[in-house]
Structure 1
Amino acid sequence: MADPAPDDSRTPGAASAFPVPTMPVPPVSVVGLGQLGGSLAAALVANGRPVSGWDVDPRARAAAEDQGVRVTRELTGVVVLAVPLPVMATALDGLRIDPGATVTDLGSVKVPVLDALGAAHGERFVGGHPMCGTERSGPDAVDPALFTGARWALCLEPDTDLRRWLRVAEIALAVGAEVVPVTAAEHDDAVAAISAVPHLLAAALAAAAGQAGPLALSLAAGSFRDATRVIASDPAFVTALVEGNAAPAAAALARVRAQLDRPWPELVADGHAVRTAAAGRRPVRVPLERSALLSLGRSGGAVTRRLAAFVEGWVPERPEPQA
Structure 2
Amino acid sequence: MNLPVPTMEAPPVGVVGLGQLGGSLAAALIAAGRRVSGWDTDPAAREAAAARGVTIGRELGGVVVLATPIPALGTALDDLDVAPDATVTDLGSVKVPVLAALGERFGARFVGGHPMCGTERSGHTAADPELFRGARWAVCLEPGTELPRWLRVAEVALAAGASVVPVTAAEHDAAVAAISHVPHLLAAALAAAAADAGPLALALAAGSFAGGTRVIGSDPAFVTAMVEGNAGPTAAALAAVRAQLDRPWPELVEAGHTVAARSGERRTVRVPLDRAALLALGRAGGTVDRRLAAFVEASLPA
| Structure-2-length-normalised TM-score | 0.97
Matched residues, percent identical? Answer: 74
Partner SS for 1:26: coil
Structure 1 position 49, deviation (Å): 1.0
What is the rounded CA distance, in whole Å, between the counterparts of 1:23 and 1:65 in structure 2?
Answer: 27
| Letter aligned with residue 36 of structure 2 | V
Equivalent in the alignment of 1:7: none
Equivalent in the alignment of 1:295: 280
Equivalent in the alignment of 1:193: 178
Equivalent in the alignment of 1:45: 30
Residue 103, structure 1, aligned to residue 88, structure 2: yes
Structure 1 position 59, deviation (Å): 1.0
**C-alpha offsets along residues 172-231 of structure 1, whole Å, 9 cap, x if unaligned?**
111110000000000000000000000000000000111111111111110000000000
What is the rounded CA distance, in whole Å, between the counterparts of 2:46 and 2:199 in structure 1?
Answer: 42
Residue 265, structure 1, aligned to residue 250, structure 2: yes
Partner SS for 2:94: coil
Instruction: Within 5 Å, give how 1:104-183 maps onto structure 2.
Output: 104-183=89-168
What is the rounded CA distance, in whole Å, between the counterparts of 1:23 and 1:97 in structure 2?
Answer: 22
What is the rounded CA distance, in whole Å, between the counterparts of 2:201 and 2:46 in structure 1?
Answer: 42
Structure 1 position 23, deviation (Å): 3.4
Residue 285, structure 1, aligned to residue 270, structure 2: yes
Gaps of 5+ in 1: 1-11, 13-20, 318-323
What is the rounded CA distance, in whole Å, between the counterparts of 1:203 and 1:182 in structure 2?
Answer: 28
Partner SS for 1:278: coil
Structure 1 position 97, deviation (Å): 0.4
**C-alpha offsets along residues 250-300 of structure 1, whole Å, 9 cap, x if unaligned?**
000000000111111110110011111114211110000000000000000
What is the rounded CA distance, in whole Å, between the counterparts of 1:215 and 1:201 in structure 2?
Answer: 21
What is the rounded CA distance, in whole Å, between the counterparts of 2:195 and 2:73 in structure 1?
Answer: 34
What is the rounded CA distance, in whole Å, between the counterparts of 1:262 and 1:49 in structure 2?
Answer: 51
Residue 55, structure 1, aligned to residue 24, structure 2: no
| Letter aligned with residue 49 of structure 2 | A
Higher relative contact order (CA 8 A, sep 6+): 1
Q: Return structure 1 stretches of 4+ with deviation > 4 angstroms.
A: none
Residue 93, structure 1, aligned to residue 78, structure 2: yes
Count of residues paired in the alignment: 298
User: What's the C-alpha RMSD, in Å, of the aligned pairs?
Assistant: 1.0
Equivalent in the alignment of 1:6: none
Partner SS for 1:313: strand
What is the rounded CA distance, in whole Å, between the counterparts of 1:105 and 1:115 in structure 2?
Answer: 13
Instruction: Within 5 Å, give how 1:200-239 maps onto structure 2.
Output: 200-239=185-224
| Letter aligned with residue 240 of structure 2 | R
Structure 1 position 22, deviation (Å): 5.5
| Structure-1-length-normalised TM-score | 0.91
Structure 1 position 24, deviation (Å): 2.4
**C-alpha offsets along residues 103-145 of structure 1, whole Å, 9 cap, x if unaligned?**
0000000000000000000000000000000000001100000
